Amino acid sequence: MAGSSSHQIRNICVFGGSSPGKEKECLESANHLGQVLAERKIHLVYGGGNIGLIGGVSIAAFLVGSQVLGVVPKDLAKEDFIGKTIGEELQVFTMSDRMNAMFNHVDAFIGLPDGLGTLEEIFHIFSWAQLHIHHKPISLLNVAGFYDNLLSFLDQAVEHKFLTSSARQIIISAATVEQLLDQLQSFISVIDPSMSRINWSTMESRKKLRFDLSLRL
């Protein structure tokens, strides 16, 4: 197996839900993530709104100086449902359109503690990486050990040969914001020769949604 070069992260996608959860530490970490993204001059792409953990990230990032883009399906773009989107808003038609738009605007991904929606998004991107559709780093902010059981499940999947060890290395985790961002910045993807032969260059799903917002300093 060979490694590809590490990524320079300018724009990052954070997946998270509209619930703050019951642990104060989770909301504090979400707010801190937004602040540190701005301090490191990393711009934020997220699923829109201003409530829950993801709202904490977006508000903090925006207030400290990051450019923020919220990508929202039109049916969800109602302030009484997810709250007002922070920064710029891109409205799309479907959840698949939202995923493609977020994917095409960013260099890396972070999953906050959350439920089904965030798990779906993380594993969607994870499965694309396993198939070598992309080599963008993927991570979990493992606040207070929230994702310990999930990470153990992935290790068990490797043990039972349902997941390769190279695929397991795709997804990384850390308990603190600083550790996680440092790991993302230094991440080097591992190439699985059995998948590297696949040519995805003509995939319809890889066509980029265009948006005229410049996510550059």
Query: pLDDT per residue over 72-117, tens digit each?
Result: 998 887 766 788 999 999 999 999 999 999 999 999 999 999 999 9
Has residue 201 got a pLDDT over 80?
no
Task: List CB contacts of 185: < 8 A, sequence separation 6 or more.
Answer: 6, 7, 8, 9
Both ends of the chain: CA-CA distance in Å?
A: 36
Say how far apart CA 115 and CA 100 lie, in whole Å.
Answer: 21
Average pLDDT, the chain: 88
**What's the pTM?**
0.88
pLDDT tens-digit profile of 48-73? 999 999 999 999 999 999 999 999 99
Name the amino acid, one letter, at 171.
I
pLDDT tens digits along 167-179: 999 999 999 999 9
Q: Which two tokens stand for residue 98?
A: 């939202």
- Decide if 15 contacts 118 (C-beta within 8 A): yes
Task: Give, in words, the CATH class of 8-204.
Answer: alpha beta
